[in-house]
Structure 1
């Protein structure tokens, strides 16, 4: 990591800490039975992620959950799949240098008090970190990484780091745990 990127990350971390002091969330564990609203945050760094998450969100909606999905596109312009979807896609232009959202849809997603927030990415992009940490979701679920202290349930994927495996393992543990 470059010297300037390191300073940028440290300043963004301070901005996140400041925001967390003002916006305290109510931590409460939820499993699949106790959840009513679900947020999904993912990246489109791998082409298949979009279709896998779209199907996952549709499956959850059909089961009666209120689902909102946000996908990060590592570009300055949205590709064609970002138009007329139930998924809110955002680009690097839609966030500040610190990762803080500037578009209303992303701000609303961050401020929504989901029962469960699925973080379906290992990306270290500042916007992913910002949204995950500042989110008011009661229970945050994601992959075990070096910087996952902001998650409430961390899934160790072992050697299979696919998004399909993360979804499958998350659902398995959430259905087994009794509230």
Structure 2
């Protein structure tokens, strides 16, 4: 139990170091790839993200969704990838090759769809090599480049806001 606390403290320290060094570099490059990080304990409709990707005109092979759950149940494996706290080591080290591969992918857009203050989710968002990050309002506003303040259950509103801001930022062509 004590080691778990030390591990969490080392990961928080690493997270704060990464966030303080973060350089935001927003360009007007079009979005052609999308990564999604979501907390399956809060929101489990990953078909909604497929529909969103389709609206942004992202090909299915350029969409990657990873889920995170604080529990370690086996029934969550119906997802493409579902990770849990065991996939994280000390000082932000990732112990899962698939998760590390996701984080190393240079997505044009990353959506972090979670509300809970979970250290591992924050690490995933921060460690992602995505060029532009969008998320729900968090206590730490350094995590994302664009923050949309909505309730997790209001996905249609979130989607509408994403489409609006990506159009304004010239990242997508909105043909509506």
Residue matched to 1:64 = 58
SS state of the match for residue 130, structure 1? Answer: helix
Give the RMSD, CA atoms, in angstroms: 3.2
* In structure 2, distance between residues paired with 1:93 and 1:6: 14
SS state of the match for residue 50, structure 1? Answer: coil
SS state of the match for residue 142, structure 2? Answer: coil
Listed as ranges, the matches of 1:4-153 within 5 Å are 9-16=8-15, 27-29=25-27, 34-46=30-42, 49-51=43-45, 53-57=46-50, 59-60=52-53, 63-65=57-59, 66-79=62-75, 81-83=76-78, 85=79, 87-96=80-89, 100-153=93-146
CA deviation digits over 1:114-136, x for unaligned, max 9?
A: 10000011222111111111111
Residue matched to 1:176 = 168
Aligned length: 166
Q: 1:122 to 1:59 in 2, by over 3 A?
A: closer
* In structure 2, distance between residues paired with 1:77 and 1:161: 23
Residue pair 2:14, 2:92 contacting (<8 A) in 1 also? no
* Structure 1 residues without counterparts, runs of 5 or longer: none
Offset at 1:45?
1.4
CA deviation digits over 1:61-82, x for unaligned, max 9?
A: 5833311100002212332x42
Residue pair 1:39, 1:68 contacting (<8 A) in 2 also? yes
Offset at 1:138?
0.5
Residue pair 1:111, 1:136 contacting (<8 A) in 2 also? yes
* Structure 2 residues without counterparts, runs of 5 or longer: 172-176
Offset at 1:35?
0.6
CA deviation digits over 1:60-114, x for unaligned, max 9?
A: 25833311100002212332x423x4x3111222222556421111001111111
Offset at 1:150?
2.0
Residue pair 1:11, 1:98 contacting (<8 A) in 2 also? yes
Residue pair 2:35, 2:64 contacting (<8 A) in 1 also? yes
